[in-house]
Structure 1
Amino acid sequence: MGQKTALYQQHLDMGGKIVDFSGWDMPLHYGSQKEEHLQVRASAGMFDVSHMTVVDVKGGDAKDYLRHLLANDVGRLNTSGKALYTGMLNEDGGVVDDLIVYAMGTPGSAGEWFRLVVNCGTRKKDLDWMDKHAARFEVAMTERPEMALVAVQGPQAIDKVGAVLADNQKSALAGLTVFHGAPAGEWFLARTGYTGEDGLEIMLPEADVSKFWQDLSAVGVKPCGLGARDTLRLEAGMNLYGSDMDERVSPLAANMGWSVAWEPEDRDFIGRKALEQQRLKGCPEKLVGLVLKERGVLRAHQKVIIEGVGEGEITSGSFAPSLGHSVALARVPAATATSAEVEMRGKRIKVSVVKPCFVRQGKQVFA
């Protein structure tokens, strides 16, 4: 038996098919992964993401510590609640983990602090890495296992969440812009997500989450499992740690270069020197999108052949319910252009090479 979130009984009561996910008993789906996927694209769906790890970082050196630890620059977080996506890198420039960091308190004041949300499968590794590099900073890190997390995603997500909130929570939600969060008592509402849709990620005490889940269900928000979460993020071109990048993969080879803050030049973040060398020499690989409109499903680890250029490998692939055909992310040689072949069942199947994003807000974004 794995670890269980505070919503475990609700998952069983709603017919969730429970599977092991990085040591957690989590719902894969509630009957139809495809229907859950399309529900998020058309209306709103809710995901239990309480297995994620929340870490609060406080202390006089909190900002300096995170500016050293992370490839993106928390110095850019100049308003309370503002968030950024970043990689946490090793000295060779590989991705230890990817995460979201929020500015809390009042930026620039003595009360400034930060909240990080990291992957559950890398929890121990991440905390050990963070502790290792905290030694020379005046900083205190507190894990928040008592916090539950619920993601509500889709074009109707914000309206439906607003319909079940208390007045003080509605005030926090009002005017909330993309990639910003706001506290409401012990709750924290953030306009972030992992589906390519608008929506919210809500952190709240475990004691409150069962009622919140039931209230959302009562206004038509459908529960969704890990299966739909994976196909939604794939359609949106969002990386999955351990598949599309890991400690051996540079963010420059994982379509994460945009999340590396090179300025100011004197910010010495972990992995900077290795990335600078890669950038100077030219990264030999890149992450691209593959589109297969014929029958068949692209899967991870299938070989990608680019005639006259070389070979690559699919890192994530699946049938895309929003499109009606298969798509994939693949790491290929940097010289790869607009076409390739994938080795499937002993045959070479032609695929189109596109930018690694397929669907945003329910619409196809590639030509």
Structure 2
Amino acid sequence: MGHRTPLYQAHLAAGAKMVDFGGWDMPIHYGSQLDEHHQVRQYAGMFDVSHMTVVDITGQGARDYLRHLLANDVDKIEPGHALYTGMLNERGGVIDDLIVYKNSSDFRLVVNCATREKDLDWMESQAGGFAVDIRERPDLAMIAIQGPQARPILEKILCGEGGNAIARLPVFGFENVGRWLIARTGYTGEDGAEIILPDEQAEEFWQRLLDAGVKPTGLGARDTLRLEAGLNLYGNDMDEDVTPWEANMGWTVDLNDQTRQFVGRELLEEQKARGHAQLLGLVLEGKGVLRAHQGVHVPGGSVGPDGEITSGTFSPTLGHSVALARLPAGTTGTVEVEIRNKRLPARVVRAPFVRNGKTVYKPL
């Protein structure tokens, strides 16, 4: 039996099919992954993401510590804003991708559940010389509400201070309302919020969302939604042997302050100078489904595959298959993907594929 979130019984009551995910019992769907996907794109869905690991970073050295630990620079955001970044090893590989929430003097990180132990060990190992306290928060739950109607619904059911916060938050902004952290962030390519709240209040809040017409959404739809949005999944699109440059995460690397020697910086600067593979989008407009680990052949390339799909799926919104693939730098036009011993043509595009319910990808 895996770990269970405070919403485990609520999932069973909603008819969820439960699976093991990073050591947690989590809902893969509640009957129809397809319906849940469309619900988020067209109205509003909610996800139990309480399996994610919340870590509070406090102490006089918190800022300096995070400027050393992370590839993005926490100095580029004001308090009340969040930052997406990679936490790298000395080789520039991604130990994990995470979100940092910046308060006036302390910070909160949300990291992936499957990498929890190695993340915490790495954070502790890098804390020497910094006046910093690293505290995991297993007492907190996390619920994401996503879709075009997500924020209007939240404004109504939260009322008062919470409703006002939802109404005024900028994208990637957040506010602390009592013991709740309300953030305008998400993993679907739709507007919405992610709310971190005490465990004991999660079930009642989930029920209020249900009563307001928000449908529960499982891990299956979460994956098709994030891939349509061109968002990476740790362990698929990047890992400890892949650098941010190779994972389309260059925008999360801040090299501006020459005096900031964050972990992995030296290797990243070397790799940027010499060139590297790229993570690009693929669109298969014919029949077939793009899947992780399928080989990709570039015109005029080598005999074997020149690249590989890292994440692929059938896109419910577009009606055909899409993927992210690691390919040689500068790949454009049409490539061929190995599907069941056949080579099928696919177009190279710039992800995301879908944002706010609309097709947005551009051919390269």
Shorter-chain TM band: over 0.9
Counterpart Cα distance in 2 of 1:52 and 1:231: 19
Please say if 1:278 is aligned against 2:271.
yes
Among 334, 338, 344, the residue aligned to 2:329: 334
2:233 paired residue number: 240
Please say if 1:102 is aligned against 2:95.
no
Q: Which amino acid aligns with 2:342?
A: K
Give the secondary-structure state (helix, strand or coil) at the position aligned to 2:210: helix
Aligned residues of 2:34 and 2:316 also touching (Cα < 8 A): yes
How far the C-alpha of 1:282 sits from its partner, in A, is: 1.3
Please say if 1:197 is aligned against 2:196.
no
Please say if 1:301 is aligned against 2:293.
yes
Runs of 4+ in structure 1 over 6 Å off? none
Gaps of 5+ in 2: none
**TM-score, normalized by length of structure 2?**
0.97
Counterpart Cα distance in 2 of 1:240 and 1:173: 27
Q: Which amino acid aligns with 1:366?
A: Y
1:120 paired residue number: 113
Aligned residue runs from structure 1 range 1-367, under 5 A: 1-78=1-78, 80-104=79-103, 106=104, 112-283=105-276, 285-310=277-302, 311-367=306-362
Percent of matched pairs sharing the same residue: 60
Counterpart Cα distance in 1 of 2:159 and 2:189: 27
Aligned residues of 1:299 and 1:318 also touching (Cα < 8 A): yes
How far the C-alpha of 1:81 sits from its partner, in A, is: 1.6
Aligned residues of 1:287 and 1:356 also touching (Cα < 8 A): no
Counterpart Cα distance in 1 of 2:149 and 2:164: 18
Give the secondary-structure state (helix, strand or coil) at the position aligned to 2:108: strand
Counterpart Cα distance in 2 of 1:335 and 1:64: 37
How far the C-alpha of 1:266 sits from its partner, in A, is: 1.3
Q: Which amino acid aligns with 1:101?
A: V
How far the C-alpha of 1:166 sits from its partner, in A, is: 4.3
Aligned residues of 2:154 and 2:166 also touching (Cα < 8 A): no
Counterpart Cα distance in 1 of 2:234 and 2:333: 26
Give the secondary-structure state (helix, strand or coil) at the position aligned to 1:164: helix
Gaps of 5+ in 1: 107-111
Aligned residues of 1:88 and 1:98 also touching (Cα < 8 A): yes
Aligned residues of 2:151 and 2:167 also touching (Cα < 8 A): no
Q: Which amino acid aligns with 2:279?
A: L
Counterpart Cα distance in 2 of 1:163 and 1:26: 28
